[in-house]
Structure 1
């Protein structure tokens, strides 16, 4: 495997870093409150970053999302790219792509999704009428379309204007909402394989976002501990501080490399479901540790709700909730691995042969 970005992917990462760095400042975030930064979203779409995801793939998106996470920029970038652009590119019909993708690329339409850990139960009829309640959908207040899985793991695209959306406040300011469907008309997206692919794509993308959140939190902690002195020397010279920061760095790198691997495998057309679960587990478990460490290394300042590092703490905890409990992710991963081992045994095919053929468990 080769995680070296292509020229196009590197260009997307650099452009995203520049836009997020210039526009997602502490002052602008404070002014936005719990809302989305409309000017920043317009700048991202105008620069072609949403449209570019079709060309640079999931790895390119993960690289851009890292830059968003570093600044905790309040825009529905991950949601609209995963549940809209990538989902329709991979699983939409030619008519759906022609009708829906132009507005999604330009930002005139925004998509979101009612999973991976949104909860709720949704039923769908054969005629395409969906009913149910999803308690929390990220970025729903900004969305024009929401991708909803039903009990049979079929995907349905719903126009938010045809449903009932109620504002819900979350740990992080994600413009979330409660979605109520009552015989709402919807259109089917993809076949039986679409659910697993979109779920794995979402897990990978939001893990990449968490890598950026953690990197930003750690960078702030490093800057603080190297400039703040205690007893005549920087805090960073204390062994306890060094060890805590080192652990946070290793956790951040683990989130990054596992999300890169899962994204690379998807782009290469390889099975990546277990790899996405691995990235999600690291993002959930390790991500929580890192944002706690970033806050603690700031001492009393870390408890200030208006300090920038506190925003990283809130985002890290929200991503943990969105991806799902680490224990549940680990249990699901174990079940997938066990199922694969049973399949190998039934086929009489040794694991070495499976690896040679590039096969694996996943979507």
Structure 2
């Protein structure tokens, strides 16, 4: 077996790192909106938005592994680019299951960076309800902390129909959008839809499409978290080598070295479980348990590494003008996005306890 990254992964990761590192150098203190339109369009011009999407959607024909490579680089700079929500989840789901008419309507504006599509997927205690009507689907429900919800032009909403789920493309005008302040910024929103009629041509009714989108969102969050933690650990190690106490770098003290060694193991655990789960998913193999393991490590390690980084930095770790504060809050957001460590551990336990396991 070959565990090396593909040439496309290496090329896309290198291009993304170059573009995003340059952006970060010019924006040491970005705002908290979570979205920079100029950066987003620059990513579109560089071919980063369409490269990993199927050719039928106007993409470069690559896939999930390439999505993850780009997301890891976005995480390393904590760049305000809604790639996870708009491209790796919403656009990828539409490319996989959408009709030709839906692709013609949505893909050009998504891949040019002109429009943002935010996924609104079911959670354990929240789900939209849809019922059929003569004009399409009547949609009811609300959900909080929708990533990229504040500035999205439309939403890909998962709705329950009896015991099944469908996806509906909902224009912003059919929803009430209430901005919310999450731990790392103001991109999130509560999306409420009360009795809006969604035309039938805006529905994706293929069985399994919603579950596919949820799996992709979990993997996208893990990839983003890997980049966040990887760079946070690098910054912390650099700080520990240069910060002195008692005329010694603090990295010389055993307690600090132990914390950094544990953080390194955590980051490598996130890396291993992410790529194993992403590889299985990309090859059409059963991956639910692997994704649960990956998200467990992304959440659990995210908590530990983020706190280690702040503790080693001491007061500098929470200083708003110092970059570590952004990595800490980004790691905390990713920790809870798409379910906590406990949520995924419980799901994994239920899967292992089932007769089919």
Is the structural similarity TM-score above 0.5?
A: yes
Distance in 2 between residues matched to 1:40 and 1:65, nearest whole Å: 15
Distance in 1 between residues matched to 2:2 and 2:290, nearest whole Å: 15
- 1:172 paired with 2:184, answer yes
Distance in 1 between residues matched to 2:314 and 2:153, nearest whole Å: 42
Give the deviation of 1:317 after TM superposition.
0.7
* Partner in structure 1 of residue 12 of structure 2: 12
Q: Map Cα deviations across residues 185-232 of structure 1 (whole Å, 9 max, x no partner).
A: 332224221121111111011101001110111111011001111111
TM-score, length-normalised on structure 1? 0.89
2:104 to 92, 98, 108: 98
Distance in 2 between residues matched to 1:124 and 1:29, nearest whole Å: 44
Distance in 2 between residues matched to 1:190 and 1:204, nearest whole Å: 23
2:282 to 250, 254, 267: 267
- 1:47 paired with 2:46, answer yes
1:112 to 97, 118, 123: 118
The change in CA–CA distance for 1:286 and 1:106 in structure 2 (over 3 A counts) is same
Paired residues of 1:82 and 1:205 also in contact (CA < 8 A): yes
Provide the secondary structure at the position in 2 that maps to 1:44: helix
- 1:334 paired with 2:333, answer no
Distance in 1 between residues matched to 2:182 and 2:281, nearest whole Å: 30
Distance in 2 between residues matched to 1:241 and 1:263, nearest whole Å: 33
* Partner in structure 2 of residue 62 of structure 1: 68
* Partner in structure 1 of residue 219 of structure 2: 204
- 1:220 paired with 2:235, answer yes
Paired residues of 1:304 and 1:310 also in contact (CA < 8 A): yes
Normalized per residue, which structure has more helix? 1
The change in CA–CA distance for 1:287 and 1:117 in structure 2 (over 3 A counts) is farther
The change in CA–CA distance for 1:37 and 1:168 in structure 2 (over 3 A counts) is same
* Partner in structure 2 of residue 135 of structure 1: 144
Q: Map Cα deviations across residues 95-151 of structure 1 (whole Å, 9 max, x no partner).
A: 222322222111112111123659633110123121111122111122122121223
Provide the secondary structure at the position in 2 that maps to 1:263: helix
Provide the secondary structure at the position in 2 that maps to 1:153: strand
Distance in 2 between residues matched to 1:42 and 1:111, nearest whole Å: 15
- Give matches, 1:1-363, under 5 Å: 2-25=2-25, 28=27, 30-54=29-53, 55-115=61-121, 117=123, 120-126=126-132, 127-151=136-160, 152-173=164-185, 175-186=187-198, 187-339=202-354, 342-343=355-356
The change in CA–CA distance for 1:172 and 1:19 in structure 2 (over 3 A counts) is same
TM-score, length-normalised on structure 2? 0.90
- Total equivalences in the alignment: 341
Greater Cα offset, 108-117 or 70-79 = 108-117
The change in CA–CA distance for 1:35 and 1:204 in structure 2 (over 3 A counts) is closer
Paired residues of 1:158 and 1:185 also in contact (CA < 8 A): no
* Partner in structure 2 of residue 356 of structure 1: none
Give the deviation of 1:84 after TM superposition.
2.2
Greater Cα offset, 241-250 or 143-152 = 143-152
Distance in 1 between residues matched to 2:122 and 2:270, nearest whole Å: 18
Structure 1, gaps ≥5 residues long:
345-363
Provide the secondary structure at the position in 2 that maps to 1:131: strand
Q: Kindly report the root-mean-square deviation, in angstroms, between the aligned alpha carbons of the 2 structures.
A: 1.8
Distance in 1 between residues matched to 2:75 and 2:125, nearest whole Å: 24
Distance in 2 between residues matched to 1:74 and 1:43, nearest whole Å: 12
Q: Map Cα deviations across residues 298-354 of structure 1 (whole Å, 9 max, x no partner).
A: 012113233210111101111112121211111111222333xx136xxxxxxxxxx
The change in CA–CA distance for 1:82 and 1:118 in structure 2 (over 3 A counts) is farther
Structure 2, gaps ≥5 residues long:
54-60
Distance in 2 between residues matched to 1:172 and 1:190, nearest whole Å: 34
